[in-house]
Chain A
């Protein structure tokens, strides 16, 4: 008779490892799971920031972490969307706002009305139909309390070191044992890990090993069949440079991502500074040259140190082998272009919880885990590659190459159908829903050639009135939202008030 999983070891560092440990402890600690974290040396530098999608709030809620702590301890800034500039020649910048998807079956949708309107000479930009984008432009934080049809939410930029420390503290307080160590060796038996040998010689056995070591992939990287599959043919950037600039005043409600000749540069506002990230192709430019160009590219003075690291984008052929499960960037990794970094860990952890093995004998859950992680990875890759594929920067080798690259079939279908009819074929395990893809495609200049014929059943007067009402509703709602600076101060004040409240 096989038995329940009793001992789980998480090997890794920084936020992903502690996210995994916190989730496991929260959900399975009560069921008697013994959890231990083998904490590898951090790969975070003081300059690093995480940029997170709104879904992370749901994760915090599930593990019981108070959101206010992010603002008081991690220099967090709420982010309503991302602004993309210089990707498409002379086209104006656009914002991908974090709108909530309308409920299924909500009818035609405003995108189709907008497409026809545009063909008829309507001037308003697509992003003006997005509550998140308009809030972002106004520097306001989307907090829709009432159940309106129009809803948006915010993600965060967070100091990576402080956030990891917060999660670590939170998890340890929950009773998780940890040890700072390195992994010297991995003992396997068949396709399973029987034990890992730490740098100090300790031999650690477990029923299940979670590899949250990021691109280092200290466990999964040694497993048979889990070779790394590179996506460089689509995603050319292989270097990341991170530095800091002064905090922006007033704080914007968006991160700013601008393309340049050899890659892109992102400005991620934090309370105490602005994280500056450049991703680029080492075949096109040297680290030194990027560093020199950085102030000009960022249009900001750069202070303090700059840290360069290499970046390998791709997915492991298998992400759960034997009793070893990869979560986060040990499973697949992508450049931090659409705030997907922590989402990768978050998604893998959610899947692991859903598919947590029933017993130690066999793991048929692995196949489904593998399949869903891979599909998610591919959908995210397609989303990020779209920025490159649809670029209109001419006579620059990196950008010409990306425009000419044949997209994966999964993305080709999306591009084709959108160009033909303004619809998005969504697959299983999509992180980004229709609205996100639409803002991406339209923002980068892919205009649909035709629209849903049902739009023509809407009389012109109604059509104009509906569009106008939508724009007014958005402006009205945005007006009630707090400014980022007030929001950040407000949560801090509230926290202090609660901390000092009697009783």
Chain B
């Protein structure tokens, strides 16, 4: 057997420790050795206190006990995202982690709902979503595994302390054989002929050499961007926000959803954890100055602030490839999309889970690299379009940023989707990419785009029985939701954190 692959991960934030833990957990030591270089002097961004349901697959795959992880990260459950004031002032809708309508009917359900509206139905589409109703009522239980059950049609994610998640993963990773080296990179040594990265020279004088380098250095993109010179593709004309201010406040209601509220120059998040509420304001300096934004954030906190707000600068976009030569960027070193749909950790996870099966040998096979880049591109572009949709579909007119976004040109792929939905209520399905049609549906409808037409297939049922069916289904959801435990109660029973755990360090979180 040949020598194991030497993998060097640069950077120990969420991306670095997720990658390290996954590699060491999934691939045996005779195939790869993992080293992680990080410096305690460099702060981490700690992307994402809010996650997407796919995180559970990742945790399951690398052998994480859910309740233990939740205790360690002071996590709470999340059934979706509530959007306030997005399409228009006074609006409120949920993007739930589950279908609208009965299980297996999601291809036709919203067409039937549209028809029922023509017949006089007034109920909102999310009244037919189990996840949305459970979220609204602050209830939580693990989904039923029997596929046909009304309460099986949803999944869930977590709100957690990303800093504590990294700490938790670091514990696992080191226990499973990852070697951590404290130090700052002074120089990156490249092969003079191929340009491949050969080693990292640390300020301490130590040289860390490797076969494959994983760049988790955050926005600095020290290896992929700075050393290999891979270009940045700027998407800020569609996603104009370029700053985030984050501040924790005292815990208030433990609602099982993220709240995103559209503001005068961006949007504000509220993320309830077991021990505090995470808050933040994502905004664009083209439309508001930093002090004003900070004042706005502090003014709108529901509870007392626990710290001063901290600021992060960014630009929406990505590196044109995320794997070049023998270097793979994971996390912010490869791209950034604002946390509007909690996709940052998802993008880390998807990169890791694509890299594992495509892990190269000591010499990178370009065929493996090309496939990785193809899949990551699809993920970025499809998330990008979905995020832009939130900005584009607004009729607020009360602030410059909203007027700009409503008028801006968007990628052609998105224009087509919007126009087709407007006309026919049809939503295109895709294989690779995070958001299923039900996600698109909730944003389209929630932001005020009620289609002009609906599929004639929905006309095949007599109107009265259609409405009766819908009423019955809605009532069934409510009945079942009322039987569920309250979310805070469920947490107490399932994964309450020990009160003795020290709160996370002061790093910025998104």
Contact = CB atoms under 8 A, between A and B. Distances in A.
B299 interface: no
B246 to A, nearest CB: 33
A257 to B, nearest CB: 29
A365 B424 contact: yes
Interface string A1-43: 0001100000000000000000000011111110000000000
Interface string A417-430: 10111010111101
Interface in B403-454: 416, 419-420, 423-426, 428, 430-431, 452-454
A427 B374 CA distance: 11
A450 B426 CA distance: 42
Interface stretch (A174-182, A276-284, A310-318, A453-461): A453-461
A133 B273 CA distance: 52
B114 to A, nearest CB: 10
Given A358-B424, A413-B370, A413-B371, A454 B430 contact: no
A427 B431 contact: yes
B39 to A, nearest CB: 29
B416 A367 contact: yes
Contacts of A427: 431
Interface string A249-278: 000000000000000000000000000000
Given A416-B367, A421-B357, A421-B368, A368 B31 contact: no
B28 interface: yes
A430 B26 CA distance: 29
Interface string A436-464: 00000000000000101110110000000
B359 interface: yes
A365 B371 CA distance: 31
A28 B358 contact: no
B356 interface: yes
B430 A354 contact: no
A421 B457 contact: no
Given A419-B367, A426-B431, A453-B356, A364 B419 contact: yes
Contacts of B27: 453-454, 456-457
B57 A105 contact: yes
Contacts of A364: 419-420, 423-424
Interface string A136-150: 000000000000000
B107 interface: yes
Nearest to A356: B456
Nearest to B353: A105
A285 interface: no
B381 to A, nearest CB: 13
Interface in B11-67: 26-28, 30-32, 57
Given A32-B459, A358-B455, A365-B426, A453 B32 contact: yes
A165 to B, nearest CB: 27
Interface in B313-366: 356-359, 361, 365
A187 interface: no
Contact of B357 (A32, A358, A454): A454
Nearest to B356: A454
Contact of A31 (B356, B358, B374, B456): B456
A33 B357 CA distance: 51
A353 interface: yes
Contact of A358 (B416, B454, B460): B454
Contacts of B358: 421, 423
A32 B356 CA distance: 54
Contact of B367 (A29, A417, A453, A456): A417
A457 B26 contact: yes
A357 B419 CA distance: 14
Nearest to B32: A453
Given A27-B457, A31-B456, A354 B107 contact: yes
A416 B431 contact: no
Contacts of A357: 424
A359 interface: yes
A409 B456 CA distance: 38
Contacts of B431: 426-428, 430
A27 B455 CA distance: 11
A368 B428 contact: yes
A362 interface: yes
A151 B359 CA distance: 30
A355 interface: yes
Contact of B460 (A28, A426, A457): A28
B371 A423 contact: yes
Given A353-B457, A358-B455, A417-B368, A457 B424 contact: no
A16 B459 CA distance: 25
Contacts of B26: 453-454, 457
A132 B416 CA distance: 41
Most buried by B among A358, A427, A457: A358
A358 B356 contact: no
B413 to A, nearest CB: 11
B30 A456 contact: yes
Given A358-B424, A428-B431, A33 B371 contact: no
Nearest to B420: A364
A33 B107 CA distance: 21
B358 to A, nearest CB: 6
A240 to B, nearest CB: 33
Interface string B266-288: 00000000000000000000000
B61 to A, nearest CB: 9
Contacts of A30: 459-461
Nearest to A458: B28
Contact of B420 (A368, A421, A452): A368
Given A364-B424, A428-B431, A453 B456 contact: no
Given A364-B423, A453-B356, A456-B27, A358 B370 contact: no
B321 to A, nearest CB: 15
26 contacts: A28-B456, A29-B460, A30-B459, A30-B460, A30-B461, A354-B107, A355-B424, A356-B457, A359-B453, A362-B423, A364-B423, A365-B423, A368-B416, A413-B371, A417-B370, A420-B365, A420-B367, A420-B368, A421-B358, A425-B371, A427-B431, A428-B430, A452-B356, A453-B26, A453-B356, A457-B27
Given A367-B420, A421-B357, A453-B32, 13 more contacts: A28-B456, A32-B459, A354-B107, A358-B454, A368-B416, A420-B367, A426-B431, A427-B431, A428-B430, A454-B26, A454-B357, A456-B28, A457-B28
- Kindly list the 5 A-B residue pairs having the minimum CB-CB distance in the complex, ordered from nearest: A358-B453, A31-B459, A30-B460, A420-B367, A416-B367
